[in-house]
Amino acid sequence: MAAPSPHPPTPSCPPDIASQERVHPMVQRPRRPLASLLLAASALTFGLGAPTTTGITATPQPTPATPKPARDVAAARPNVVIILVDDLDWADVSTYGRRDAPTPNIDRIAQSGVAFSDAYVAASVCAVSRAALLTGRMPQRFGFTYNINDEGDKGAGLPIDQKTLADRLRPLGYRAAAFGKWHLGSDPQFYPTRRGFDEFFGFLAGETNYVDPATPGIVTTPTKEDKYEIGPRTGNHAMVEGPDARPADDFSRYLTNQITDRAVDFITRATADKNSPFFAYVAYNAPHWPLQVPQSYYDRFAHIKDPVRRTYVAMIAAMDDGVGQILDTLEKRGVRDNTMVLFLSDNGCPHRFGFCNPDHPFGAGKFTYLEGGVRVPFVFSWPAGLKTRGISASPVSSLDIAATVLRAADPAHALPRELEGHDLVTTARKPQPDRLLVWGQEPVYAARQGDKKVWLSRDWNQSHLYDLKADPAEEQDLSARDPKNDKRLKTAIERYRTSLPAPLWKLHSTRKVTVNGRETEMVY
């Protein structure tokens, strides 16, 4: 989401969504205040006893920044590693003070950089969110309005006239590789090596199986709502590699580990040339369903009695270990200081499957525009170029990644005008608490500025105003008591909505869903 103009996101990923009328109810537990969680995280993760004076705080409200030099600039163009995970809940990383799902390696990134507590993606579903991250633009602005259905949306994909971050880094001498989930189109013109990447290993669809369930030492746990078949990986779900998309499947090996191994190999090879920077886009499938994990990880969490939740947390642990291997490789190759590492999820956790954190502070999840759908874990480290440390409550967006990388890689030139993001290095040093963020597509939209947020459904003819500081779960509608902020944010939504072109492919469905006894609207 960019600052001067409103920005949006979109909806969902699973093929069976049309048959789902209700979200799996979350267990009701007293919510721990968000501020206390972040204070705990500040002390536990960063060793901070109080808010800093650099704009990084241990509470949701950032303090004024102290004057600093215009920019912390590294001498050489930085390497870039973007680690994008799938359907990871904000509350399922230990970086923000949670201990249900320990993520020591994600915490390592935060300890050498910044964890953003109010970080958002541009959409609440897979494909649209990924299109935003790699282009630095709201995808709805170029017709990438709805999610790509793996089977039915033939010809759908990231338009070829939209440049990816890899496209923009290539003229600057970067070697780029993508690993894992693509989900930006399966036709030849959308293939990663035709979108700026030099190498690719992964799958083109929105999800795939992690491993053959008959493999010894593998735990496969079905959920009540999951109709996914655990069978051979075929079609767009199969693993491919190289410019010719040749088969590269090893169904006996756990997919998370395969993605890690390929990323580590690329970094090792790329760092042999000390004069050329690299860009690694590591898009783990984890912890997206189906729920599969090696027994050794499952055994770590015997204290979790629900097998669905236990498998999901174990999958997070396996993914976190992969993050650790990538960090270890950067350190061993002597390039960690001048490597930007950005970790985030593509959207929130889908609560209808019953494996998300039952004690998270936000409402609903994936497919929705409540906080749980678009507010995600997001950490950023660049030791040579980002000197700020701690937890920042400044609202940021996945749209900021392209702007941040390009500003660092090519500081002598202005950013392309079409980019909608802000530089995260500047934001970390000088927070922007009143930044306007706008999301959505027909028929559901949302907008946030400061602590106020509007959620709006045009087909339901409903809207609600929330105070996220006092009510992060979005349970109390304040529109009647605060008409000024209600009108201001609705005006921003309308300005954004009326600026959009027609979608390039159709809306799949909308559904009324219930979470914690509350109804909201899901868009696919």
Name the pairing type of β-strands 199-203 and 240-241: antiparallel
Q: What is the 3-state secondary structure (H, E, C) of 265-307?
A: HHHHHHCCCCCCCEEEEEECCCCCCCEEEEHHHHHHHCCCCCH
Give me the residue label for tokens 């909608």: 420
| Cβ-based neighbours of 483, under 8 Å, separated by 6 or more | none
Length of the chain: 524
Could you tell me which residues are beta bridge partners of residue 300?
none
Could you tell me which residues are beta bridge partners of residue 453?
448, 466
Q: Smallest Cα–Cα separation from 490: which of 457, 454, 466?
A: 454
Identified catalytic residue from 7, 13, 24, 126: 126
3-class secondary structure, 309? helix
Active site includes 126? yes
Residue 484: how many CB atoms within 10 A of its CB? 8
Q: CB–CB of 451/474 below 8 Å?
A: no
Identified catalytic residue from 24, 183, 360, 464: 183
Q: For 56, left (φ over 0), alpha (ψ -120 to 50), or beta? A: beta
Q: For 161, left (φ over 0), alpha (ψ -120 to 50), or beta? A: alpha
Cis bond leading into 243, ω under 30°? no
Please give the C-alpha separations between residue 388 and each of 65, 166, 243, 277, 313, in angstroms, as whole numbers. Answer: 11, 27, 40, 23, 30
Just list the catalytic residues: 126, 183
